[in-house]
Amino acid sequence: MDVTKQLKVSDTVYDDLDELKEEEDHTSFDSVLRTLILHYRHVKPTEE
């Protein structure tokens, strides 16, 4: 069972997410955010 939570973001962040959602044909903001998180984890520089 998924629990839905709300997340407050600025208008700028919302607009950027909405733009990414349209450009990448995502069906939800959840999908956009999951993709961003996975990408971040994949390309995150290693600590020296």
In this structure, the dihedral spanned by the alpha carbons of residues 38, 44, 47 and 48, taken in order and rounded to 10 degrees, is: 140
User: What is the per-residue pLDDT for 45?
Assistant: 67
Per-residue pLDDT of 8-46, as tens digits, reads 999 999 999 999 999 999 999 999 999 999 999 988 766
| Region of residue 9 (left: phi > 0; alpha: psi -120 to 50; beta: else) | beta
Residue 47 has pLDDT above 80, yes or no: no
Domain ranges of the chain: 11-43
